[in-house]
Amino acid sequence: MSRAAGDRLGEAWARSARMVGRRIGDEYVLVPLAGRGADLDSILNLNRVAAFVWEQLDGARSGTQVVASVVERFEVERARAEQDYLELVGTFVELGAVEPARRRG
């Protein structure tokens, strides 16, 4: 794992207030709340793992802790879970869906 990736796993991320996640029936969707309200074109569907990760991003848990929860919940290998987590958080950061919280050691 690169140093940058390791750093990112040490960080905690918080869901942005400008993004709303909702479970509706079988789906889990993220809806960005832009200045003019929600935008149908920007709605995102999350799979089960991504939805689980999204709900863990409370600004307190570090990436390492979230990955540990994913490994425990979905019985996947740690390396795979870390990779998925980092990709997902990268996407969330690009979308402005999460904001950095405090750094953890």
Positions in the binding site for another protein (CB under 8 A): 20, 22-27, 29, 31, 33, 35-40, 43
To the nearest whole angstrom, how small is the minimum distance from the Cβ of residue 100 to another protein?
Answer: 23
To the nearest whole angstrom, how small is the minimum distance from the Cβ of residue 45 to another protein?
Answer: 9
The alpha carbon torsion through 81, 86, 92, 96 (nearest 10 deg) reads 150
Neighbours of 67 (CB within 10 A): 24
**Can you tell me the distance from the alpha carbon of 105 to that of 100, in angstroms, rounded to the nearest whole number?**
14
Which one, 44 or 68, has the nearer CB to another protein? Answer: 44
Which one, 28 or 85, has the nearer CB to another protein? Answer: 28
